[in-house]
Structures are given as structure tokens and as C-alpha cells.
Amino acid sequence: MSDHDSQLDSTAGIRARIDTSKPHSARFWNYFVGGKDNYEKDRELGDQIKEIFPGLVDVARTSRQFLGRAVRHLAGEQGVRQFLDIGTGLPTADNTHQVAQRVAPDSRIVYVDNDPLVLAHARALLTSTPEGETAYIDADLYDPDAILREASKTLDLSQPVALIILNTLGHVADHGKACDLVTRLMAALPSGSFLVISDSTATSEGMIAASNEYNRSGAIPYHVRSVEEIAAFFDGLELLEPGVEQVTRWRAETADPARVDAYGAVARKP
């Protein structure tokens, strides 16, 4: 058995790290997208926030759809074959590797998260086509060097990589620190790599109220930002059309996409 398998098989140790007494963002989000990997505290908070701001459910679902469109575009039209997905969350339908490998079976995907429940379910993320490969890293966004070191065991960091960070940077309270983490990760990737980011935004009173309620719950706080602050994550990169936009409106597949309080973009490293 490999070290990697041993890590995934240490179920008892992983489960011991799971705190069910407080909500957690991965489980909370899982509840909103219709998943079953959540606990009573996550559902209680989810129901409270639905009453304050039902639109957050739309943010959860449409952010997932944005991920699918972005990955399909990168794999299909940009020829990307390597993906580094940080803040993976709990497995649902159409995870990054499933979307990418449907387009390009030889795609290689590395998932990164530090939530023990996500780790406990990591086997669902480690299926792969014979031509491609998937891996999972139990690591923290605040340690880019460790992420890159472990990712290099699966990905060739001398070749373009799509770095994906969805609904995760809001957990970094200081915007300057969040920008620095993104910059450090992108600095290690070669020209022709891509950055995909989306996050909830302080673009309505409802979203701000929902964020405040979430942060009072005891969960790790999540800070909604302005659209301008989201755009700053892409400084120095070449934005793909339509630029920084509501996630529903980024290369929308419907004529009149819904309005949501979440913005994202895809950009290329020159």
C-alpha cells in the first residue's frame, strides 16, 4: 500500500478531526447544492440564511456551473491538460476532473483542501480515466510552497496549469494577504497558465446580511468583497472575455442568466 493510500485509509484519525458542533463552509455549501455530506449545525445555519437571503442558494449552484463552463473552455479551447483545484470542497456531480477528462481524457488534476470531511470523501475525487490522473493533497491555502511541492508529484509545473480557487479566498480576512497568496501560487506556474477565481460579493444588502449571519455562527468567517477586490486577484494577467463578471454571465449558455452576488473570471498568465 502506498503512503497516499495509507493516508486515505486512516479513516478513524480523519473522522476524529471533524467538528460537528459548529457549521463548516464545505458542509454548508454541500447542503445548499443538494448534497448529503453535512450535519445538523450546517443545515440549521443553512435554513436560517435561506430565510435572510434565499439568493445564497443560487450563488452556490451557479458557482458550480461556472466551474464547469470554465474547465470545459480551458480543456477544450485553450488546450489545458493540468488543473490545480484549491479549496475543493465536498465531491458533487461534475467535479473538475470529470469535466476536464470528458473533454480531454489525458487531463491531470490535483485537488487541495484541509477539511477532514473532504479528506474522508477524497476517494470519490480520485477516480480517473486510464490516460489521466487525479490526486488529493491535505494542505492549507496559507502554505503555497507545500501545495506546489506536493502538486509537482502529479503535475509538470514546467507546463501550463489552470489554478482554480472557487469560493475560498473569502476565508482570508485580509485582502492584501489573499492577493499575495494568489500571486505566490501563480508565480510558480509557467507562461500560458490560467487563473480561475470566483467568490461571493458584497453587491446586495441580502448577501451582506447573510455573510454577517454566517460569521456569527462560529464557523470560520467568510468575507464578501467588492467586485473591484475580486478583480485585483487578476492583476498582471490577461483576462479572457467577458472579464470579471457575475458567475452566471461568464460565457452564459442561456439568453437571460440570473443575477447573483458572486463574481468570477478566467485569466491567462502572459
pLDDT at 8 over 60: no
Percent pLDDT > 70 in the chain is 94
Distance CA 242, CA 263 (A): 12
Average pLDDT over residues 205-209: 94
pLDDT at residue 93 in the model: 75
pLDDT at 104 over 80: yes
pLDDT at residue 243 in the model: 98
Average pLDDT over residues 39-61: 84
Confidence of residue 1 (pLDDT cuts 50, 70, 90): very low
Q: Which of 3-7, 108-112, 135-139, 250-254 shows the lowest per-residue confidence on average (mean pLDDT)?
A: 3-7
The owner of cell 454571465 is: 249
pLDDT at residue 242 in the model: 97
pLDDT at residue 72 in the model: 98
Percent pLDDT > 90 in the chain is 64
pLDDT at 6 over 70: no
pTM: 0.88
Distance CA 57, CA 31 (A): 9
Could you tell me which residue, 91 or 5, shows the higher pLDDT?
A: 91
- Alpha-helical (H) ranges within 138-217 are 144-151, 175-187, 205-215
Across the chain, mean pLDDT equals: 90
Average pLDDT over residues 150-157: 98
- Between the alpha carbon of residue 96 and those of residues 87, 104, 145, 195, 249, the distances in Å are 12, 12, 22, 14, 20
pLDDT at 25 over 90: no
Confidence of residue 28 (pLDDT cuts 50, 70, 90): confident
E strand or H helix that includes residue 138: strand 133-138
Confidence of residue 21 (pLDDT cuts 50, 70, 90): confident
pLDDT at residue 11 in the model: 58
Domains along the chain with CATH numbers: 54-202+222-269 (3.40.50.150)
Distance CA 185, CA 168 (A): 14
pLDDT at 162 over 90: yes
Distance CA 197, CA 177 (A): 16
Residue pLDDT, tens place only, 165-200: 999 999 999 999 999 999 999 999 999 999 999 999
pLDDT at 32 over 60: yes
pLDDT at residue 14 in the model: 63
